[in-house]
Structure 1
Amino acid sequence: MSYIERFLGGIAVSVELTLLSFAIAIVLGLLLAIMRVSPWPPFRWFASSYVELMRMMPLLALLLLFTFGLPKLGFIYSLFTSTVLVLGLYSAAWICEVVRAGINTVSIGQIEAARSIGMRFDQIMGEVVLPQAVQSVVGPLGNLFIIQIKASAIGAAIGVADITYTAQKINFDTALAVPTFLGAMGAYFLLTLPAGWFFRFLEQKMAVLR
């Protein structure tokens, strides 16, 4: 297999890591954000504790825990799956805060009006708050997605064959560190650039709808 083919394989793995982990982070982050603004204290406490825990936890330490610690308890995952789960669980905390900030942009008057006509909390969230909040969180979510692309390189620490790991292996084979790692940096640039364009396009579309 040529070095270019190996790099392309690494790019594919990095894309898979990013998309799968970000999907997990979006779903979990949205649920956590709703819990943080819910009227039930146990939900608020759980979501707040989760966010604070993830903020204090080094990403690499969490990955090593999933990779080498949890199998001792009977939870056995592939290296790829461990990386996806860790990135998703970790990023969910930041997405939670972004979504919560978006929720807080909705005026309290609209929420009180919805309550006055008998709408439940879940109805208020789904029909009043979230449709408006999403318009203000597209930009920050785009930034987090780009960070997720770069954070996917953490998988190289445990042997996931992404861009960074592939570059390391090629460097071991060729001893051409400068062109090899410049190529890796270029690959990440080619992933993050269109992602930035896409989210800016979405943000502009959302601005028109406001």
Structure 2
Amino acid sequence: MTEFLRVLTDNWELFVDGFTNTVYLFLISAVGSLVLGVLLGAFRVSPIPTLRWFGATYVNIVRNTPLTLVFAFLVFAVPKLDVNLDYDQAAFTALTIYTAAFVCEVVRSGINTVPTGQAEAARALGMTFDQVLGQVILPQALRAMVPPMMSVLIAMLKNTTVAAGFSVLEAGAIPAYMAERGEPQFYVLLWITIGFLILISPLVLLQRSLERKWAVAR
């Protein structure tokens, strides 16, 4: 137990820096993926065929592409197109692009839970597609969307560790630094596991709370 605690106390700054960057990476990417994902979800249910095609194509391509390949494309291929991204910017972009595809499907599924009669009634009143979606459909779909959306965000928080393989200092990069210091990797991995459990627990509790509060009657 003494050795276990020593690994944390002697390397406290590294753990703090790693998990702080993980939280920062998560928050920025979460905002970006939610914005892009909702937009793509709107495309998926749009009456314009081109937008529906674009949304479906994006989801099918990105969702079936490993996240590591998305990172590799942004880190190694994009700079050859004279687009300069540092490692942190590439990590934000990769996580946003990848997670947005899953957010899009949550949004589309949530919209599909709203009876079609709601949209037809709104259109009969002369409302535009934007008004129908923003004022009628999304408010009703929200309670069906939020619980699975939390699962997507939890998965993204864990996916931030992929950034460690592309020179981003976050929690997933800690073992490599600790190996250079000769610290026992078993204890290091245990502390990282505990750190992620601490970060994920509030999201899980929020998810369960929303599921109880906004349970859809079946």
Normalised-by-shorter TM-score class = over 0.9
Greater Cα offset, 189-198 or 86-95: 189-198
Task: Count the aligned residue pairs.
Answer: 209
User: Does structure 2 retain, via aligned residues, the 8 Å contact 1:7–1:167?
Assistant: no
Question: Displacement, 1:175?
Answer: 4.1
Normalising by structure 2, report the TM-score. 0.92
Q: What is the distance in 1 between the residues matched to 2:119 and 2:202?
A: 37
- Match of 2:23? 15
- Match of 2:199? 191
Aligned with 2:168: secondary structure?
A: coil
Q: Percent identity?
A: 36
Kindly indicate whether residue 14 of structure 2 is the aligned counterpart of residue 6 of structure 1. yes
- Match of 1:27? 35
Structure 1 unmatched ranges of 5 or more = none
Q: What is the distance in 2 between the residues matched to 1:115 and 1:158?
A: 49
Q: AA paired with 1:88?
A: T
Structure 2 unmatched ranges of 5 or more = 1-8
**What's the Cα RMSD here?**
1.6
User: Does structure 2 retain, via aligned residues, the 8 Å contact 1:37–1:100?
Assistant: yes
Question: Displacement, 1:200?
Answer: 2.2
Q: For 1:1-210, list aligned pairs within 5 A.
A: 2-207=10-215
User: Does structure 2 retain, via aligned residues, the 8 Å contact 1:167–1:181?
Assistant: yes
CA deviation map 1:73-124 (0-9, x unaligned): 1111111110011001100000100110000000011111111111111110
Aligned with 2:145: secondary structure?
A: helix
Q: What is the distance in 1 between the residues matched to 2:110 and 2:68?
A: 29
Aligned with 2:214: secondary structure?
A: helix
Q: AA paired with 2:201?
A: L
Normalising by structure 1, report the TM-score. 0.95
User: Does structure 2 retain, via aligned residues, the 8 Å contact 1:14–1:163?
Assistant: yes
